[in-house]
Structure 1
Amino acid sequence: MFEKILICTDFADGLHRLTHFVTSLAAGGIKQIVFLHVVPLSETRTIPKIDREQIEQAQARLSAAFDHSPAGVDVKVEVESGRPVETMLRVAQSYKSELIVLGSQGHSLFTEKLIGSVTAELSRQTTIPLLILRPQLIGALTSEELTLRCQHLLRYLLIPYDGHEAANFLVQQVKRLAQKQPGRFLERCRVCWMMNSLPTPSERETLSQVKADLETANLQVEADFRQGTALTKLLEMAQMDEISAIAIASGTLGKFQEWFVSSFAAELLRQSWCPVLFFPNIH
């Protein structure tokens, strides 16, 4: 699984609350946790200026992470001034982060056309997986509930599948994560192939092979076909099956054409209340 994570917060997303749950994250196999807040440059007479006061305030808010740091876990707090995406990528590279955790406000497609999206911009520039959490989810959980959520961050993954390149890439990424984990932090996955008609014998065989392939990584795997609207059915399954996160991959998220045609992956990121584990930049 992921042992080095970068948690990026603007404080409005509520992810700074995770500074109080470092021990719980560590129980899920995480060995390095970096909290990052980016302070925008202030402008005085059009000259960019570092806002020292905001930086000090942000450092104070994130310092709780050090109070909850168990032995054997490397905890860092980074507060920098600059452009969010550039800073995130630089810090992730510096710490060799394996996962970037972000909050999502669930912007509409129209809003994203106008102002862009940090998630979309990151997906253009990095192959580091992104875990997108809805702020309302973090805010609604009690401390006891959030403790369990952090301990089992990615225990049970829902994997949409359609037999195409991005879906096969996704399966291999999940398999790789399971194979490299030192414990049993990722335990289960459910592969769901959404269809408009009955599956052919060839498609049944393909899904059977996918299931068998994932099982070689010591995963408990369920695989089935479902009929109906893919997005609606997947969101229903995530709610009913105690899914930890929906895993997706897309080769177009964040690219120019997607501002005009909403892909399944982009729409899922906008609508899902369940955490979304996104593997970007498939070529």
Structure 2
Amino acid sequence: MFERCLICTDFTDGLHRLVDFIPNLLAGGFTHITFFHSVPYSEEGNRPREDTKKLEEARSRLAPALNNIPDGVEIAVEVVSGRPLDTIPRIATERGIEVVIIGTPSRSLLDEKVFGSTSKGLARAISTPLLIYRPQLITTYTEEELALRCNHLLRCLLVPYNDSPTARYTIEQLKRYVSDQPTCATQSCMLCWVVDDSSHPAIPLEPRLQEAVEKLQPVKAELEALGLEVHVEVRTGNPLTAILDAALVHDISAIAIGDEDRGVFLNWTVPSVAQDVMRSSWFPVLLFEEGKR
């Protein structure tokens, strides 16, 4: 689905382990892989300056990625000074990156308000999709498990869909990236429409379920036209709970979902299923920020 990826690690998220799994990442469809680490400026002295020791240590830890590079692929290591929210967008632009892979711990909305969220900040600052992993998982995979994960990063996607502009945007982005890659590593999708049974109580549930089934069919056909195997499912209940339950039931690689930047105030006060999924899901999340493309 993507060919050019930027793997960002702070060495606590486990993503630095991927330097030993280049052949598996290539099997997952990548042809250009850049490993990235950002070192904060040293505050010693009268003014900020580069921490040369930490820069060299980081380059040394990522250097195994450059061993035995196969013909026809590009592997690089970028270690720079600065804040990740400043440096990652710049490197992604310079290298024509199509997806940024980051590790983000699960957290509550209150934690995000107090401590901030690198993933959400990146989504607003960068023009490429984010593939978000939980450090707790990456760090505990055995080598065999991690090799399989790299082979199948995006093989099967769970795609929440409700015919909203943001959901439609997600589908358009999926179609774009699948059609752009000659040999797509993504093989199948599960379209999941959740009818919130707590909303619109005056409207009978059955017609809403039938409407969802009918509106899913043309979307299914669009994705099947690209060679994907597509399944559809309509569920009832709380959208976040139902999406995560669907991920547990179906054999998926990641949840692909879209979101829009509505400003800081609305992001904190108006519920967003995408942001709830980002905070809560233990499954990898492929995030498309609406309006960035």
Q: TM-score surpassing 0.5? A: yes
1:120 corresponds to which residue? Answer: 120
Partner secondary structure for residue 192 of structure 1: strand
The 5 A counterparts of 1:101-140 are 101-140=101-140
Match of 1:249 in 2: 258
The one-character-per-residue Cα deviations of 1:221-280 (angstroms, maximum 9, x if unpaired) are 001210122211221221231210000101137744212334111111111110000001
Are 2:192 and 1:180 equivalent residues in the alignment? no
Q: 1: distance between equivalents of 2:223 and 2:287?
A: 18
Q: AA paired with 1:4?
A: R
SS in structure 2 at match of 1:127 = coil
Q: Number of aligned pairs?
A: 283
> Of 255, 261, 265, which aligns to 2:270?
261
Aligned partners of 1:9 and 1:16 also within 8 Å: yes
Q: Which amino acid aligns with 1:127?
A: S
Superposition pairs of residues 34-45 of structure 1, within 5 angstroms: 34-45=34-45
Q: Distance in 2 between matches of 1:280 and 1:154?
A: 18
- Sort the Cα spacing of 1:138 and 1:44 in 2 relative to 1 into closer, same or farther, 3 A: same
* Residue 225 of structure 1, aligned match among 205, 211, 234: 234
Within the candidate set 185, 189, 210, 2:219 is matched to 210
d(CA) in 2 for partners of 1:281 and 1:154?
Answer: 20
Tell me, in whole angstroms, the C-alpha distance in 2 between the residues paired with 1:261 and 1:96.
33
TM-score, normalised with respect to structure 1: 0.95
Structure 1 residues 181-237: Cα deviation after superposition (integer angstroms, max 9, x where no partner)? 222411000000001233354433211111111111111000121012221122122
Matched residue type, 1:232 = T
Counterpart mapping for 1:91-170 below 5 A: 91-170=91-170
Please list every run of 5 or more consecutive structure 2 residues that lacks an aligned counterpart in the other structure: 198-204
For residue 279 of structure 1, what is the amino acid of its counterpart?
F
| Matched residue type, 2:260 | G
User: Is the Cα–Cα contact under 8 Å of residues 123 and 254 in structure 1 kept in the other structure?
Assistant: no
> Greater shift after overlay, 159-168 or 254-263?
254-263
Q: Given that residues 7 and 34 in structure 1 are in contact (C-alpha distance below 8 angstroms), is that contact kept between their aligned partners in structure 2?
A: yes
Contact 1:166 1:282 in 2 (8 A): no
* Letter matched to residue 155 of structure 1: R
Contact residue 166 and residue 290 of structure 2 kept, 8 A: no
Residue 282 of structure 2 is matched in structure 1 by: 273
Q: Percent identity?
A: 44
1:58 and 2:67 aligned = no
Greater mean alpha carbon deviation, residues 263-272 or residues 112-121: 112-121
Distance 1:281 1:122 in 2: 13
1:275 aligned partner, one-letter code: P
Relative to 1, partners in 2 of residues 1:63 and 1:33: Cα closer, same or farther, differing over 3 Å? same
Deviations 1:100-127 (A, max 9, x none): 0000111221121123211111111222
Deviation string, structure 1 residues 24-46 (Cα, Å, up to 9, x no partner): 00111211100000000111245
Residue 88, structure 1, aligned to residue 97, structure 2: no
1:253, 1:265 within 8 Å by CA — same for their partners in 2? no
Conserved 8 A contact 2:34-2:78: yes
> How big is each residue's C-alpha offset from its partner over 1:80-136, in whole Å with a ceiling of 9 and x where there is no partner?
011111100010011010000000111221121123211111111222000001111
- Superposed CA RMSD in Å reads 1.6
In the superposition, the TM-score normalised over structure 2's length comes to 0.92
